[in-house]
């Protein structure tokens, strides 16, 4: 159902893929938008390792939400800042692509929102205040992962 990588030597292990999901803060969510065109947008996210799901927060209305309501199949790409190997100018970038189905969650699981926010700040008072202030105007999205693959690419 999902394609294999064409360059097996560049494949990341499952552990390396999960490491990127745990450590990175942003990625690009792609949905099937109007007239069947892809619609891709940068999103902050939280990967919950225990249930192997990715969570996003979102406004309640807009292109993304309309697209998700029509078709729940999505992909999500995360990549790191890259690194240089000693003595080389080119950048090595690790990326992960996740395929799965996304759903809208009206009620925010509090623990997930707290952990989501902790990716950006450790100030618990600030986090609790933000959750309280945003809960009426935003929703949560949950991506159930069906397939994940990753690779490392050298820019040279």
According to the model, what pLDDT value does residue 97 have?
A: 97
Q: What is the mean pLDDT of the chain?
A: 92
Find the mean pLDDT for residues 23-52: 97
Residues 78-105 have pLDDT tens digits of: 999 887 788 778 888 999 999 999 999 9
Domains of the chain: 8-154 (2.30.110.10)
User: pLDDT band at residue 51, thresholds of 50, 70 and 90?
Assistant: very high
Which residues face 147 on adjacent strands? 99
Alpha-carbon distance 125 to 114, whole Å? Answer: 11
**Taking 80 as the threshold, does the pLDDT of residue 34 lie above it?**
yes
Alpha-carbon distance 97 to 74, whole Å? Answer: 10
According to the model, what pLDDT value does residue 155 have?
A: 76
According to the model, what pLDDT value does residue 33 have?
A: 96
**Taking 80 as the threshold, does the pLDDT of residue 68 lie above it?**
yes
| Residues 80, 105, 34, 36, CA torsion sign | positive
């Amino acid at each position: 159902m999902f394609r294999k990588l064409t360059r097996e030597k560049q494949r990341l292990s499952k552990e390396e893929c999960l490491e990127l999901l745990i450590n990175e803060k942003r990625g690009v969510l792609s949905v099937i938008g109007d007239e069947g065109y892809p619609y891709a947008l940068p999103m902050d996210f939280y990967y919950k390792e225990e249930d192997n799901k990715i969570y996003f927060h979102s406004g309640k209305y807009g292109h993304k939400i309309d697209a998700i309501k029509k078709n729940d199949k999505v992909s999500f790409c995360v990549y790191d800042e890259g690194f240089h190997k000693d003595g080389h100018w080119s950048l090595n970038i690790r990326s992960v692509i996740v395929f799965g189905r996304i759903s809208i969650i009206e009620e925010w699981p509090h623990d997930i929102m707290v952990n989501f926010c902790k990716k950006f700040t450790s100030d618990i008072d600030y986090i609790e205040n933000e959750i309280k202030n945003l809960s009426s105007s935003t929703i949560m999205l949950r991506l159930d992962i069906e397939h994940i693959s990753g690779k490392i690419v050298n820019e040279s």
